[in-house]
Amino acid sequence: MGTNQPEPELPQARGGLSAAVIAYLSGKAPLPEAYTPADGDPYGDDLQLALYVCYELHYRGFAGVDPSLEWDPQLLRARRELEETFLHALRADAWHQRTVDEALSALLVEPVDGAGVSHFLRSQGELWQVCEYAAQRSLYHLKEADPHAWVLPRLRGRAKAGMAAVEFDEYGGGRAERVHAQLFADLMGDLGLVTAYGYYLDAAPAQMLATVNLMSLFGLHRALRGCLVGHFATVEVTSSPASRRLAEAMRRTGAGPAAEFFYTEHVEADAVHEQVVRREVIGGLLAEEPELECDVAFGIDATCHLEDGFAEHVLKAWRKGTTSLHVNGVQMVSLPGSGMTG
């Protein structure tokens, strides 16, 4: 099964916030009058799942959910409350108030101890851990480049042209079989994973949901266009060395040729993309709108903050020999080599 299957099913709720959104989308209950997530954990399962479900209406939607709810005023009000809670926490926890050059330079510094998920998988990861990683990353990679495409109408000149050039590569240069989302589906097929879009949502922990939500948050708001450019730059600058390590992990664990190819494809492509993003996208944007420098830097910082949180969660579990998947989701999926049953 490829990436063109029908809409995914609504996920299982993880608390009151997500339960209210899911019940509303399924037609079982109205949204509460006072939908106030301010007291909840901004990075927790409940808020992140509620936000993810709201955002997913702008992508593939969900089976049985009326597409017109994408712009439902009550749902947008609730989503705004969730977004403000999330964004407030990020500005408090992740913003280093530095220049774009300082933020970009920090991305090029490899950790001395080689900490990181790609380092772990390359040196000691087992096949079941590779499968867990791919299952979680599928929430983004099966729609790879889509959140970033929203920024195109909000850019102009060099920034727009540079962004469009990189996105064209992400979408396979006009060849459906080379679209990066399809290449990741091929990777999943090599690993024996289900390639259906959104299949592993119930298994994804809050840390993974937050990394995907960040792209949607930045992409859906014109006011945050600089932040999305910063996020995009972070992905492209860090992708090539990480992809090289992950390609080695795929080879060492015997994941399969398509699994290895997905990452080898990114090693060279993203090295080129990095230069385009630096010189044309960021350079062009700040030449036109220098006041957005703080936003670009914040986009970099917020991305690193959430990716570090995801890595910490995954590595803590794996070093204990336990699953990094969401506890309830483990009962709903079966990953090859994990010994878990669906």
Read off the pLDDT of residues 198-228 as tens digits, 9 standing for 90 and up: 999 999 999 999 999 999 999 999 999 999 9
How many separate domains does the chain show? Answer: 2
Nearest Cα neighbor of 273 from 309, 245, 243, 310 is 243
Q: Which domain-ending residue is among 75, 92, 109?
A: 92
65 plus 199 within the same structural domain: no
pTM, two decimals, is 0.93
115 plus 245 within the same structural domain: yes
pLDDT at 4: 54
Residue 173 has a CB neighbour count (10 Å cut-off) of 9
Q: Is residue 6 part of a domain?
A: no
Q: Which domain holds residue 262?
A: 97-330
Q: Which domain-ending residue is among 58, 92, 126?
A: 92
Task: Provide the terminal-to-terminal Cα distance of the chain, rounded to the nearest Å.
Answer: 18
55 plus 174 within the same structural domain: no
302 plus 205 within the same structural domain: yes
**pLDDT tens string 27-81:** 999 998 777 776 679 999 999 999 999 999 999 999 999 999 999 999 999 999 9
Average pLDDT, the chain: 91
Q: Is residue 267 part of a domain?
A: yes
286 plus 158 within the same structural domain: yes
177 plus 214 within the same structural domain: yes
**pLDDT tens string 272-299:** 788 899 999 999 999 999 999 999 999 9
DSSP secondary-structure letter at 335? -
**pLDDT tens string 235-264:** 998 888 899 999 999 999 999 999 999 999
Q: Is residue 5 part of a domain?
A: no
Residue 43 near residue 89 (C-beta atoms within 8 A) = yes
80 plus 109 within the same structural domain: no
315 plus 240 within the same structural domain: yes
Q: Which domain-ending residue is among 92, 114, 141?
A: 92
